[in-house]
Amino acid sequence: GENVEQHPSTLSVQEGDSAVIKCTYSDSASNYFPWYKQELGKRPQLIIDIRSNVGEKKDQRIAVTLNKTAKHFSLHITETQPEDSAVYFCAARTGYSTLTFGKGTMLLVSP
Amino acid sequence: DAGVIQSPRHEVTEMGQEVTLRCKPISGHNSLFWYRQTMMRGLELLIYFNNNVPIDDSGMPEDRFSAKMPNASFSTLKIQPSEPRDSAVYFCASRDRAGETQYFGPGTRLLVL
């Protein structure tokens, strides 16, 4: 089955800095890669996703890049704000079935 | 739209007791997922239903866990007997027929003493 590795496990940045979270996946047939944000005590919520036929996608301060050859994808957050502090999960899906999640990255943005 | 609804939101029980978690997916969604989240193991898929039929239950830890989806608007996850290592947050998520996004419920925080 699919295996998703996520790094780093924790990331501390100053407000206004950029943050980058990286994930690798094992199944070359995976075709959908969402990112979820989970605030403390809350549910995971989708923030951005990318499909295998696209190399990059942006939505305001967040962007995701995908390198199919290397089987890795990354989340980029620019101009970080304290409200960006949360745990971020990457995931990969093969076909139209289930998601395999990474272990998560705790992002702390200090004012 | 009320989103995915889960109940109870919190459950404290003693080892050996039966626990039943409930989920109501978003109306019109035909796929339902049960996840377990712990610090050690992260977010794990337990079981996946499509059109009320279990498709993948390979994540169900052992025979103490069972899940049902008797109709399109209701699913249960049952643990019998419960053990302290079952303590976790259990999330239900649903997805619609044409979409790819999984929408999570608020979760049930289970503590087994």
pLDDT for B48 equals: 93
A40: closest chain B residue by CA? B106
Q: Which amino acid is at B34?
A: W
- B40-66 pLDDT per residue, tens: 889 999 999 999 999 989 889 889 999
Nearest-CA distance B80 → chain A (Å) = 25
Nearest-CA distance A43 → chain B (Å) = 5
Best A98, A101, A103, A105 member to test B by mutation, with max B CBs in 10 Å, is: A98
The DSSP secondary-structure symbol of A84 reads G
Q: Are A89 and A104 in contact (CB under 8 A)?
A: yes
- A44-71 pLDDT per residue, tens: 999 999 998 889 999 999 999 999 999 9
Q: Coil, strand or helix: which one is B84? A: helix
Please report the residues numbered 43 through 62 in chain B whose beta carbons come closer than 8 angstroms to any beta carbon of chain A.
43, 45, 48, 55-56
What are A25's two structure tokens? Answer: 């996946």
The bridge status of strand B74-79 relative to strand B53-56 is: unpaired
Sort out which chain A residues have CB atoms less than 8 A from B6's CB and list them: none
pLDDT (mean) for A14-22: 98
For residue A95, pLDDT beyond 80: no
For residue B1, pLDDT beyond 70: no
- DSSP secondary structure string for all residues of B29-80: EEEEEEEEEETTTEEEEEEEEETTEEEE-TT--STTEEEEEEETTEEEEEES
